[in-house]
Amino acid sequence: MVWRTTFVTMSTCFLLGTTFTHWIADHDVLWRSPVTPDALATSIKYYSFLSNAPSGLGWVYIAVGIVALLSAGGRAMKGYQGQSGEILFDGVLWSAIAYTQIYDVYPTIKLIPSHLPQSLTDHKAYPELVSAVRDLATNNIMTAVMLTGIMLLQAGRWYSKRSANDLPPSVDISAASTPGRASSPEKESLPLPKRSGTPFRELTAEEAFELSGQ
């Protein structure tokens, strides 16, 4: 139904936008080589601030995720009626996203303390914090890729349903799909060729008599 697709698309856009906001902390950690201590410190402070954010923000994120899962689950149940592709692709991607957020991202963010010392490199948990922000950057990239895949699936589904209605209503779709099988009235109405139109003709009586006389 249309409302399921609308909820899936809107929730996917919201979750994709919130994932892209982490790019300011993940870029220098994941895509710069070598990784500098300043980049690691910036990422650790960012996720420390995120772990200490108001609980209302977390509940908004959870509510949007639940709406997305319920909408995708309802459409997956509809897939048993003959649209198994929605179960195969949408269901796998949403399951992977939910698993990554629940078992990887959320526990890792909670491991980062809300109060950090002035010198992070001298902190005894600095190696664990560096490993945590690296894992968070990787998980955010994976989540962004999967959410983008879901958006592409929505666009492909919309295009496939729209392209079936491109032909005008007066055109016979079966005849248009197999133009080679359409009968041609001109070929059926052609008259049979006359004998005089062939390169051979019948002998006249005189020519027959001459041949028999020889």
Q: What are the φ and ψ backbone dihedral angles of 66, each rounded to 5 degrees?
A: -65, -40
Looking up tokens 């980062």, which residue turns up? 112
3-state class (DSSP) for residue 122: coil
The predicted pLDDT at position 116 comes to: 82
Q: How many CB atoms lie within 10 A of CB 175?
A: 11
Residue 174 lies in a domain: no
The predicted pLDDT at position 51 comes to: 86
The predicted pLDDT at position 138 comes to: 94
Residue 169 lies in a domain: no
The predicted pLDDT at position 82 comes to: 56
Residues of the chain with pLDDT under 50: 84, 164, 173, 175
Residue 55 lies in a domain: yes
Residue 71 lies in a domain: yes
3-state class (DSSP) for residue 116: coil
The predicted pLDDT at position 159 comes to: 78
Total count of domains within the chain: 1
- Asked if residue 169 has a cis previous peptide bond (ω within 30° of 0), the answer is no
Beta-carbon contacts of 29 under 8 Å, excluding residues fewer than 6 positions away, are: 35, 39, 40, 43, 133, 134, 137
The predicted pLDDT at position 130 comes to: 92
Residue 129 lies in a domain: yes
Domain that holds residue 127: 2-163
Residue 41 lies in a domain: yes
Residue 175 lies in a domain: no
Crossing angle of the two packed helices 126-163 and 2-20, in degrees rounded to 10: 150
Distance CA 132, CA 47 (A): 10
The predicted pLDDT at position 47 comes to: 92
Residue 96 lies in a domain: yes
The predicted pLDDT at position 189 comes to: 55
